[in-house]
Copies of this chain bind each other. A is one copy, B any other.
């Protein structure tokens, strides 16, 4: 259950890591939107394994196929189904975890929930499922582009290496210029060195992705339970390995006084609109966008699969040892960037449609 996300711009993903295919059905995309297969593929390529030396060396081409919902290059208003066939399945790499529970993976909890599980590569619990989200996010992004909205994410922390420069001072065009996807070249180099070293040790490391939504109109977001940042938070927390979410001032803001934290309103004569002098609110007040940038941070734990022996138990609860096999990411952050962008795009697309729904105009 719960493989569907969104209310109006609504996606349903399916597929297992080592099954036949991953896929997604997008229901609710307005008709008449130009859909570029090349664009969808380019988004998928950004999360593809094997794209650089610091990510997993699995070789999946991850070729996407549009099964339905697009006719003569445009969305028809009917469900858009996207399919990515699995290719490079070395399922034998996972024989060791048929009966043994990998620490901090979902092996044990899936067995508890479902009674058994597809153990090959983590099955449905594998982060491979996110390829379907990225495919759907590409369609959402095409919709956002129609509305002039822009979503960007980048790696702002790996282990103890934190990029403290405010996002407003960064050159986003540099994000993809390095394999870490950090827009600061010097920091990116340090991060890459760290990731290589961690991998050499057979270990893994966590970090933070920062996301930004720009040129979002005010008035989006649904009080009270589906506040813009609440839905965004849920979207991010639903990504594998995520342990925390904050937006605007976040946890840091809890130390402040109201007199420091409040964002004072003024009239921005350049843009001819009401704006705020600071943006500790992170673009959202009362759950609704105020026209300023939305920015947020997403915490990723270190990848659970390490190339070191670990104590664990088998299904019978008997003590045993396990050591990671297969080809894994020493740090999930670089490949998480397009996933964060995709999920953010899906959230915003949904809120746009919800907003339109509630207007009091004539259909005629």
Contact = CB atoms under 8 A, between A and B. Distances in A.
Given A238-B230, A257-B302, A68 B16 contact: yes
A163 interface: no
Given A123-B78, A238-B224, A285-B105, A246 B243 contact: yes
A76 B122 CA distance: 12
Given A3-B225, A112-B290, 16 more contacts: A1-B8, A3-B79, A8-B8, A104-B281, A109-B221, A113-B221, A124-B224, A159-B256, A208-B254, A243-B254, A253-B302, A254-B301, A267-B319, A352-B363, A354-B357, A356-B363
A226 B238 contact: yes
A15 interface: yes
A335 interface: no
A131 interface: no
List 3 A-B pairs, minimum CB-CB distance, nearest first: A106-B286, A244-B246, A2-B226
B3 A359 contact: no
A28 to B, nearest CB: 5
Interface in A180-233: 198, 201, 203-208, 217-227, 229-231, 233
Interface in A66-102: 66-69, 71-72, 74, 76-81, 83, 101
Nearest to A248: B243
Interface stretch (A29-37, A49-57, A170-178): A29-37
A4 interface: yes
Interface residues of A, number: 160
B288 A81 contact: no
B290 A115 contact: no
A205 B80 CA distance: 34
Contacts of A353: 357-358
A326 interface: no
Contact of A363 (B25, B69, B220, B265): B220
B28 A12 contact: no
Contacts of A169: none
Nearest to A308: B259
B225 A5 contact: yes
Contact of A357 (B223, B310, B356): B356
A141 interface: no
Nearest to A229: B237
Interface string A34-61: 0000000000000000000000000000
Contact of A257 (B103, B198, B251, B273): B198
A237 to B, nearest CB: 4
Contacts of A220: 113, 363
B117 A76 contact: yes
30 contacts: A1-B226, A2-B222, A2-B225, A3-B225, A19-B68, A20-B65, A30-B359, A32-B115, A74-B116, A76-B117, A103-B264, A106-B285, A108-B218, A109-B286, A129-B224, A146-B360, A159-B255, A160-B255, A204-B258, A206-B254, A219-B363, A220-B363, A243-B248, A253-B302, A254-B299, A254-B300, A258-B303, A262-B306, A266-B319, A354-B357
A261 interface: yes
Nearest to A260: B302
Contacts of A79: 3, 12-15
A153 to B, nearest CB: 15
